Amino acid sequence: MSHLNKIHRVTIIGAGIIGLTTACTLLKEYSTNDNLQLTIISETFTPDTTADISAGLWEIYGIENIDEQTLRRAGYTYDIFLSEYFSTKAARAGIMKISAYILHGYNNQNSDEIDHTTLVKPAQAELVRHFRWLDKHEINIFDHLKPTSGFVMSTITVEVKKYLLELQRFLSQNNRVKIIKKKIHSFNELKNTADVIINCSGIASKYLADDETVRPARGQIIRVHAPWIKSVYVFDTDDGMGYIIPQADSVVLGGTFQLNDWNTNIDENDTQKILRTCIKCLPALEDIHKGKVQVGLRPYRDNGVRLEHEKTNDGIDIVHCYGHSGSGVTLSWGCAKDVVEIVKTLIPANSKQKNHEKNNISEHELLWRLVPNPEHILLTSKI
């Protein structure tokens, strides 16, 4: 078989935010290559992935060493989400542009003046479209918490279960894509059916990739109906850190970050602590008497994200992309881009790119597009 006619088989393990953004990016870069065969294999799909449970806030969270590579990936992802917010995708994909108030310290009287020159800017400050420190009068708005400092920035929240559903719809329309629900126990299972394996298996990489540095960071949250809340709040209290994050259809109250805890059952003590903490920030939440409590295991990795190519002793080409901790949404598109750049060194991309089309289409539209919703078509036909 000639090089031009060779079928290139790529298998992605995992269908969370990392797996599906990688799949979309792969199709973009191989858009004119009809010989690409992409298989997505996962034990779970939306709405049952870890990402579906997440608060979907764009913020680098749960990663200790934030290097230039992490910032570049986060910045690219931010730009994609922001452009999607100003597109027809926003409502169906659950994307919101929102202000986030990040407060530090508690139960301390503020000095007459806050010396911003002594405060350390967060790493992501240079990536967002708007960032500024809160002045004394703004800090005093939160006098019931008595924070010592804080800032506000423009960020994005993503209702991940909506977002993944739209990505999955887009991928399933492509005749080069096959989607399989199955648990993979060993890379050797795919040795004879894939030329390149992309490992986006999250917490499962602890066993699949035999990586002892992967650990669960248990997260428990409560989804409530609180439509009056229009901003993100992240804050400290004497009960620990709390966060309140609006999404398209709910508000997420959190949360926990419990390393080495594999418990996926709801802990009533955690539930009460989350409520108690969030009520300290916004007392009106005391009137909320029901909500959906969810638990997920973030894929924390001691050395941060692993994104690299591995050639196994059995001759299997694997590109690993896991260990995103609480930053899966934040790093998703950026990591996907880097993964596909590695794949292009293993499988040549078709050189006949449609540059004239690229010049007229925004980056996010090249990555994926909305698939017509049958319900929307029916509604339109009745009007």
Q: Which residues are annotated as a binding site for D-dopa?
A: 243, 298, 326
- Residues annotated within a binding site for FAD: 55-57
First-to-last C-alpha distance (Å) of the chain: 54
Residues in the annotated binding site: 55-57, 243, 298, 326
